[in-house]
Amino acid sequence: MEKDLLGIFKEKLARYSIRQNDIAAVLGRSPGNVSDILKGRKNPTLTTFMQVLSAAEQICPGFTDEYWRAVAGHQSLGKFVSSLDSAELGILLTLAGQRLIDNQSQQSTSPLRQKISQSTKVGSNAQEQVAV
């Protein structure tokens, strides 16, 4: 079954309320040029299409992932999760848990996170001294 990649792309643009003018502005192209691409009057190269996809991602982070899930046949994350059997769901949850742990360790070691943590400790020590 052939997928209408452009049709899926336009559906996602509508879902995220991304306008052709917004994409044109990010790309530095004329709105007419983007309109021609999205209406199928111009057949973009793969590079051009990836640039348009990247522009949509800049406007709305997460757009690209949602687009590729739709192309793969999973219209939403909920439907994708519902389609998994228990073993696949277990693997997904394990991987998600590992990613959360990795993100937590990255955040706790970032200089900004450490500075915030230190300033919070200083503030709580001052409050304890006032309370005594």
Q: What is the CATH number of domain 5-80?
A: 1.10.260
User: Tell me, what's the pLDDT at 113?
Assistant: 55
Total Cβ atoms within 10 A of residue 34: 23
Q: Which amino acid is at 55?
A: A
What is the dihedral sign for C-alpha 11, 12, 15, 16? negative
Per-residue pLDDT of the chain (132 residues; tens, 9 = 90+): 345 788 889 999 999 999 999 999 999 999 999 999 888 888 888 888 899 999 999 999 999 988 888 888 755 677 777 877 888 888 888 888 888 888 777 666 656 556 555 655 555 454 445 444
CA distances from 88 to 64, 65, 92, 99 (A): 23, 20, 6, 17
Cα 47 to Cα 2: distance, rounded to the nearest angstrom: 21
79 CB-contact burial (10 Å; exposed 0-12 / middle 13-18 / buried 19+): exposed
Cα 15 to Cα 74: distance, rounded to the nearest angstrom: 15
How do the domains of the chain map onto residue ranges? 5-80, 84-131
Rounded (10°) angle between helices 31-38 and 20-27: 120
CA torsion angle 29 60 14 7 (round to 10):
70
